[in-house]
Structure 1
Amino acid sequence: MRSPASLVLLALPFTLAVPAPAAGNLGSATTQNGLTAGGCKAMTVIFARGTTEQGNVGSLSGPPWFAAMSKAVGAQNLAVQGVDYPADIPGFLAGGDKKGSAKMAQLVMQAMTACPDTAVVMGGYSQGAQLVHNAAAMLPADMAAKVSSAVLFGDPMNGKPVAGVPAGKTKVICHQGDLICAGTSTILMPHLTYSQNAGEAAQFAATAAGM
């Protein structure tokens, strides 16, 4: 049984110690609205942050990945959109915030409709990975099939396919010793170091998109 206490005691000291840069820079800002406030780009990343992270993309996994992505495909070709949702402990324990999951699905559909030529990448860290699973299952089959790739860091649903997205276009990165990936609610250091995988995750998404 998952214990909320383990999330409160172990997650908060790390996330609250991280400063909250203003929106903007892909490599540091905790808020990104490249879809809702910008124009169409060759690639659009819809990203959901982890539990208790700040902004709408957090800081632990998202920004390092976005920075690597901008190098891989070119900053001028990349739009990043965070998912606004509570990212609280009850949502994690419920298998991913329901409204946040629906919001992510809506953003994916918005990107595909407004920018039909963009390569849509679904990404998430920790509870955000739960949202990717949930949102993909909410998409119409034809839209799920158009997802360029899905990239998940520290996935609590490790081993479960992302509905409608081919296995070859899905990358799940789980560190040895990350107990979140093992289905528990205990956060240890291996769950907090996915920034080191930014390069491989970026290359995967770029290759899947043919960029």
Structure 2
Amino acid sequence: MIDLDTRRLKGLVAAVVTAAAMLVAPAVTAPVAAAQDCPDIEVTFARGTDEPPGLGRVGGAFVDSLRGRVGGRSVGAYAVNYPASFDFLQVAAGANDASDHIQYMMNNCPNTRLVLGGYSQGAAVIDVIAAVPVPGAGFTAPLPPNAPDHVAAIAVFGNPSAKIGLPLTSSPVWGGRSIDLCTPGDPVCSGGNDVPAHSNYVPSGMTDQAAGFVAGLL
């Protein structure tokens, strides 16, 4: 079991490396979003490759759209702290940071509904958390079995694992509460070769689409 999950983690890293070789994600400045203590809803989001620290352009747009769809409920946001560099083995570091924060929220804010999200390499971070239940290949902080009691929804964009036939929507645990979006031709998540498509998640309306899906589960 451990060997299988380690191979899966290594496979996700390999998918990121292969996809990223086809493009360089644009660096877009975005502020780090700070969650208030025990908000009604909190989004943990991992930015894409080469974006500066923070939620990133896609994550920021997704959170803003979600805030407009949940009535008067408060929405906090946590930006996963990891390099998001071209050292794709750091996906595991991102998964550790995200999982540690999720478990902190589960323990200290048990009534907060949690949402996980990621873009590009950040989507691979979320893949690791969702798909690998045991430590391996640098991932040391698997989610506990009761995580589905707290995590209401997952939204990923430009997900490298979709390219290898493992979208989060196929997960036996998370599939029903996941949305895994890929713009047509995006080489990171499909067999296409339209490099600009990888930067089209906000103007295409897919961040709004994901926010609508997630709001329906909250």
Secondary structure of 1:150's counterpart equals strand
- Corresponding position of 1:26: none
1:166 is displaced (CA, Å) by: 2.9
SS at match of 2:31: coil
Q: Which runs of 5+ in 2 are unaligned?
A: 1-13, 133-141
Q: Could you tell me whether the CA contact under 8 Å between 2:20 and 2:188 is conserved in 1? A: no
Identity fraction in percent: 29
Q: State the Cα deviation string for residues 45-99 of structure 1 (Å, max 9, x = none).
A: 000000100122112x1111111111011475100110010001121xx4x6211
Change (3 A) 1:112 1:88: same
One-letter identity of the residue aligned with 2:197: P
Displacement of 1:5: 10
Compared with structure 1, are the counterparts of its residues 4 and 113 closer, same or farther at alpha carbon in structure 2 (3 Å cutoff)? Answer: closer
1:132 lines up with 2:126 in the alignment: yes
Paired with 2:210 and 2:188, the residues of 1 have a C-alpha distance of 19
Equivalent residue in structure 2 for 1:42, among 40, 45, 49: 40
1:7, CA displacement in angstroms?
A: 4.2
Question: Could you tell me which residue of structure 1 aligns to residue 217 of structure 2?
Answer: 208
2:161–2:189 CA contact under 8 A, matched in 1: yes
What CA deviation, in whole Å up to 9, does each residue of 1:87-121 have, x standing for no partner?
01121xx4x62111111111111111111111100
Q: Does 1:160 pair with 2:170?
A: no
Among candidates 179, 190, 204, match of residue 171 of structure 1: 179
Contact 1:49 1:58 in 2 (8 A): yes
8 Å contact from structure 1 (residues 153, 194) kept in 2: yes
2:102 aligned with 1:108: yes
Q: TM-score, normalised by structure 2?
A: 0.77
Q: How many residues are aligned here?
A: 189
Check whether the contact 1:111–1:118 (CA below 8 A) recurs between aligned residues. Answer: yes
Cα RMSD, aligned residues only: 2.7
> How far is 1:172 from its partner?
0.2
Q: Does the aligned pair in 2 maintain the 1:32–1:57 contact within 8 Å?
A: yes
Are 1:150 and 1:171, in contact at CA under 8 Å, matched by a contact in 2? yes
Structure 1: distance between partners of 2:34 and 2:146: 25
AA of the residue aligned to 1:32: A
Structure 1 residues without counterparts, runs of 5 or longer: 21-28
CA distance in 1, matches of 2:95, 2:191: 19
1:176 and 1:75 map into 2 onto residues whose CA distance is 35
Partner of 1:56: 54
Contact 1:149 1:165 in 2 (8 A): no
Residue 33 of structure 1 corresponds to 34
Q: SS at 1:40's partner residue? A: coil
The 1:63–1:188 alpha-carbon spacing in structure 2 relative to 1, beyond 3 Å, is same
Query: What is the CA–CA distance in structure 1 between the aligned matches of 2:152 and 2:126, rounded to whole Å?
Result: 13
> Match of 2:78, SS?
strand
Alignment partner, residue 73 of structure 1 = 70
Q: Cα distance, 1:156 vs. partner?
A: 0.3
TM score, norm. by length of structure 1: 0.79
